[in-house]
Structure 1
Amino acid sequence: MRPIYCKKKTIYVPAGMTNNEPPKTAPPCTGWQEDLPSPFDAPTLEPGLAPHTPNFQDDIYLEICRSAMAYRGIVSILALIFLISILVDLPWVIRHTNPTDIESVLQEIIMLSLSAWCTVVLFRADLSAPRDLPIRFNRARNKIYAYNFKHQWWNPFDKGKVVPVSYDWFQVRAERWSQTGALPNGGLIFKWGVTLSIVAPGTNNVIDRFPLVTMGANEHAWAYICTYMQEGPSALSPPGEPKDHNDALWCEFALRLAPKVNWPSEMDLESRTAP
């Protein structure tokens, strides 16, 4: 059940149900469930970023963290195990493949090629993205700055690239989404989150779109950001200690191998200062 907080009472709505209102953005995000309050509407939910804490927060700007994927490092370990199993089996495959049997040779080449492709794609997915994908919300300038990363997951030769963007706060729209996928064993996997859609001024036409907090952000995170932008940090609970998104523990090998966050110098200065 998903709680909706109103002024008079709290109503519980089953997860996945919407308020029956059509999407406001054109086009809506994939798996659209509902539009969240606009940047200038009063939040209807209790603000919160749990389990995350802000990277930084003061009277000028708020920075929140995003991760390219949950539990980075696990995918690399699985890819390494997969690679070792291929290398162990390779001598046996070579010895038991008849070189005069063209069909068998082609099958083995295709299987080895697919295995190599899967291994590289898994390593790329875990190691290519920066250590953090922060978003900054600048109250003094009424702007949003997002450190986005784009890549073609299926292309083993694509290292991806960082695409920092900046938009006015009034262009931002938040959409809640959810999706259901099938697992190989017949089970189901559920994904959900909040996407930020950027609309052209004076319209609801989407010109850019990126996740608010990757892997499971909810409406409370959007309420936290709107409260900060509308009322300032004094309206929120005191945040934890600021943290450097480039810091990684010795055991977090995937993060240590991933590129560090490096904002363009002009955007970095602008996003952290008042006009």
Structure 2
Amino acid sequence: MTAGFRYEISTPRDEPIRFNRARQKIYAYNFTYCWWNPFKRWPIEVVSYDWAQVRAERWRKRARTPQGITIDKQGVMLSIIQPDTTNEVVDRFQLSTPNVDDLVWKYICLYMQRGPSALPPPPPPKNHDDIPWYNISKNLAPKVQWQKDIDIESRTAP
């Protein structure tokens, strides 16, 4: 089994992040893989952090192909800082797919500060387990399964 194929069928279908305004926490479905060791078990860990620990980092990557085409990618990472230190990062999450702009971060901040009434209506929720039939590797990948206690905590008020 090649490492690339294993990556495709071992990674979860999605790595969602939940924002709980009532608890002022975020919950992340964290997946860590080791590209150089195909025999190591790739763990999934659900973590939660206080909203006060969250910072956004905008990133940009520019690459040039051998054909001379410039590819420009950008996105927003959520960085979790140590609560008792100055900006020491303890964890990072990709907020969304590459090329997302900072409007997503502003939307989340507005939700966490003022609530859903301050926001325009969101689009209908996407079921991340709806994978097209022809994407065989993602159909073989494990579905996102939150631990029962974390699932309840991340969706309810204290």
Aligned to 1:142: 24
Mapped to 1, the partners of 2:9 and 2:150 lie a distance apart of 25
- RMSD over aligned CA atoms reads 2.0
Q: Which amino acid aligns with 1:253?
A: I
Secondary structure of the structure 1 residue equivalent to 2:72: strand
Aligned to 2:53: 171
Mapped to 2, the partners of 1:254 and 1:169 lie a distance apart of 35
1:38-77 map, 5 Å: none
Given candidates 96, 100, 121, the residue that maps to 2:3 is: 121
Mapped to 2, the partners of 1:157 and 1:136 lie a distance apart of 31
- Deviation of residue 238 (structure 1)? 1.4
Q: Which amino acid aligns with 1:124?
A: R
Given candidates 240, 253, 257, the residue that maps to 2:136 is: 253
Aligned residues: 157
Structure having the larger proportion of residues in helix: 1
Mapped to 2, the partners of 1:181 and 1:161 lie a distance apart of 31
**Contiguous gaps of at least 5 residues in structure 2:** none
Indicate the structure (1 or 2) with the bigger Cα radius of gyration: 1
- Deviation of residue 194 (structure 1)? 0.7
**Contiguous gaps of at least 5 residues in structure 1:** 1-118
Mapped to 2, the partners of 1:226 and 1:121 lie a distance apart of 38
Provide Cα deviations, 1:206-259, integer angstroms capped at 9, x if missing partner.
111121113222201101101111111112221233333223232332321111
The structure-2 alpha-carbon separation of the partners of 1:274 and 1:208, relative to structure 1 and needing over 3 Å to count, comes to same
Aligned to 2:96: 213
Mapped to 2, the partners of 1:242 and 1:192 lie a distance apart of 24
For the 8 Å contact 1:128–1:159, the answer to whether it is kept is: no
Q: Percent identity?
A: 56
Secondary structure of the structure 1 residue equivalent to 2:2: helix
Mapped to 2, the partners of 1:249 and 1:125 lie a distance apart of 18
What's the TM-score, normalizing by structure 1?
Answer: 0.52
Aligned to 1:232: 115
